[in-house]
Amino acid sequence: MKIGLFAGRKLERILRFTLALYSYLVALSLLLTVGGNCGVSPDTTGQHFGSDTATCNEPVIDSIIIDNRNIFNTDSSAYSHWIFKLANKLHYKTRVWVIRDEILFRPNAPYPPELVEETTRNLRNRLQLYDAWTEVDTLPNGHVNVKVVTVDEWTLSAGPSFTRDGNENRYELAVTERNLLGRNQYLSLRYVIQDNEDNYVDASFRDRRFWGEPYQVDMRYNNNPLNDLRSIVVSHPFYNLIQDISYGFTVMTVKRRSDIYNDNDLIGQYRTKGDNFTSWLNVRTGSYRQKAQLSIKYDYVFKETYDTLIFSNSGADSTLVEATFPTDSVYHQFGVGIKVFDLNFKKLRQIDGIGYTEDFIFGHTAGLSIARAFLPNFKNRVYDKIGVHFSQGYNFWNNLIYWSYQRDIWFHGEDDLRQTAEFSAYYYNYSLKFLTLSFKGSYASDWRTDGAESLVLGGKTGLRGYEKFFRTGDRRMTMNLEARFFPSLPVLSVVFSPVLFMDAGKVLRRDESFTMKDFYFSGGAGLRIGIGHSSRNRLTRIDVAYSKHSGWEISVGTDQYFNSRKASFFLTTR
**pLDDT of 363-382, one tens digit each?**
999 999 999 999 888 888 88
Predicted confidence (pLDDT) per residue in 79-103, tens digit: 888 888 898 899 999 999 999 999 9
Comparing 421 with 31, the larger pLDDT belongs to 421
Q: How far apart are CA 261 and CA 312, in angstroms?
A: 10
For 50-63, what is each residue's pLDDT tens digit?
A: 443 334 578 999 99
Show Cβ contacts of residue 103 under 8 Å, excluding neighbours closer than 6 positions.
48, 64, 119, 148
Q: What is the pLDDT of residue 19?
A: 52
Provide mean pLDDT across the span 284-289: 91
Give the pLDDT of residue 445: 94
> What pLDDT, on a 0 to 100 scale, did the predictor assign at position 566?
64
Lowest mean pLDDT among 244-248, 293-297, 304-308: 304-308
Beta bridge partners of 409: 386, 419
Q: What pLDDT is attached to residue 3?
A: 37
pLDDT of residue 422: 95
76 confidence band (pLDDT: 50, 70, 90): confident
Architecture in CATH for domain 61-152? Roll (3.10)
Q: Does the pLDDT at position 42 exceed 50?
A: no
Q: What pLDDT shows up at residue 55?
A: 46
Kindly tell me if the per-residue pLDDT of 33 is higher than 70. Answer: no
pLDDT tens, position by position, 436-445: 999 999 999 9
pLDDT on residue 537: 63
Would you say domain 238-573 falls under CATH 1.25.40? no
The number of beta carbons lying within 10 Å of the beta carbon of residue 384 is 21
Q: How far is CA 400 from the centre of its chain?
A: 18
The average pLDDT across 249-267 equals 87
Q: What is the pLDDT of residue 264?
A: 79
Using one digit for the tens of pLDDT, what is the confidence trace for 460-469?
Answer: 898 998 988 8
Per-residue pLDDT at 526: 95
What size, in residues, is the chain? 574
pLDDT at 238: 93
Angle ∠(308,313,317) on CA atoms, nearest 5 = 65
pLDDT attached to residue 52? 38
- Which of 161-170, 239-248, 279-288, 475-484 comes out lowest in average pLDDT? 161-170
For 109-118, 149-158, 228-237, 446-455, which range has the lowest pLDDT when averaged over its residues?
446-455
d(CA 333, CA 299): 5
Q: Note the pLDDT tens digit of each residue in 486-500.
A: 987 777 778 889 999
- pTM score of the predicted model: 0.84
CA–CA gap between residue 359 and residue 374 (Å, rounded): 42
Over 90: is that where the pLDDT of 150 sits?
yes
Please give the pLDDT value at position 322: 76
What's the rounded Cα separation, in Å, for the pair 117 and 97?
Answer: 19
| pLDDT score recorded for residue 373 | 92
- Bigger pLDDT: 316 vs 219: 219
pLDDT at 15: 52
With a cut of 50, say whether residue 304 has pLDDT above it: yes
Average pLDDT of span 503-520:
86
Average pLDDT over residues 322-326: 74
Q: What residues pair up with 541 in beta bridges, in sequence order?
A: 528, 557
Distance CA 381, CA 484 (A): 52
Residue 113 and residue 99 in contact, taking contact as beta carbons nearer than 8 Å: no
The residues near 151 (Cβ < 8 Å, ≥ 6 apart) are 69, 70, 71, 129, 130, 131, 132, 533
Residue 288 to residue 293: CA distance in whole angstroms: 13
Q: For the ranges 81-90, 98-107, 129-138, 244-253, which has the lowest average pLDDT?
A: 81-90
Nearest CA to 341 out of 361, 314, 321 is that of 361
* pLDDT of 568: 62
Q: What is the pLDDT of residue 56?
A: 57
Report whether pLDDT(454) > 80: yes
Residue 235: which pLDDT band, with cuts at 50, 70 and 90?
very high
Each domain of the chain, given as residue ranges in start order, spans: 61-152, 238-573
DSSP string, 137-160: EE-TTS-EEEEEEEEE-B-EEEEE
State yes or no: pLDDT of 179 exceeds 90. Answer: yes
Beta carbons within 10 angstroms of residue 518's beta carbon: 10
**What is d(CA 29, CA 290) in angstroms, rounded to the nearest whole number?**
6
Average pLDDT along the chain: 85
Checking if the pLDDT of 38 tops 70, the result is: no
- Higher local confidence (pLDDT), 494 or 507: 507
Tell me what pLDDT residue 77 has: 79
Cα–Cα distance, 489 to 95 (Å, whole number): 33
Confidence of residue 165 (pLDDT cuts 50, 70, 90): confident
User: What is the average per-residue pLDDT within 413-418?
Assistant: 87
pLDDT at 520: 93
Q: Is the pLDDT of residue 2 over 70?
A: no
Residue 574 has pLDDT above 70, yes or no: no
Q: Mind spelling out the 3-state secondary structure of 387-451?
A: EEEEEEEEEECCEEEEEEEEEEEEEECCEEEEEEEEEEEEEEEEEECCEEEEEEEEEEEEEECCC
Q: Supply the pLDDT for residue 97.
A: 95
State what percent of residues in the chain have pLDDT above 70.
Answer: 88
Question: Quick check: 29 pLDDT over 60?
Answer: no
The pLDDT of 204-230, averaged and rounded, is: 93
**Can you tell me the mean pLDDT for 242-257?**
93
